[in-house]
Amino acid sequence: SPTAQTNFNTAMSGDGFSHKAVPDSGFSLFLADQTRKVHFIRHAEGFHNAETEKTGSNYCLLRPEGKAASEHPLYDSRLTPKGVDQAVSLRKIL
């Protein structure tokens, strides 16, 4: 109801509470205007993703026994052209 909404909006008016002061715990939900938003993004398409999609399994990611991971052709895969486009598109909206 409009009355309930008005009461909700003014419920803390005049109570002397200041959201600018950091509490002893160092954390406050009322510090939103002093915080940063962090977006966690997994990643865009890499060559390893394209290869697993092409082969239909993750077996292409296995390395031969006795070989170092860094010797695998997909080790530290870079983004495919599609992945670069995905990253550029995402950057535009963030």
Phi, psi of 79 (to 5 degrees): -75, 145
- pTM value > 0.85: no
Dist CA 2 CA 8 (whole Å) = 10
Q: Are 60 and 51 in contact (CB under 8 A)?
A: yes
Q: 20-62: per-residue pLDDT in tens? A: 555 566 666 666 667 777 878 887 999 999 999 999 999 999 9
Length of the chain in residues, anyone?
94
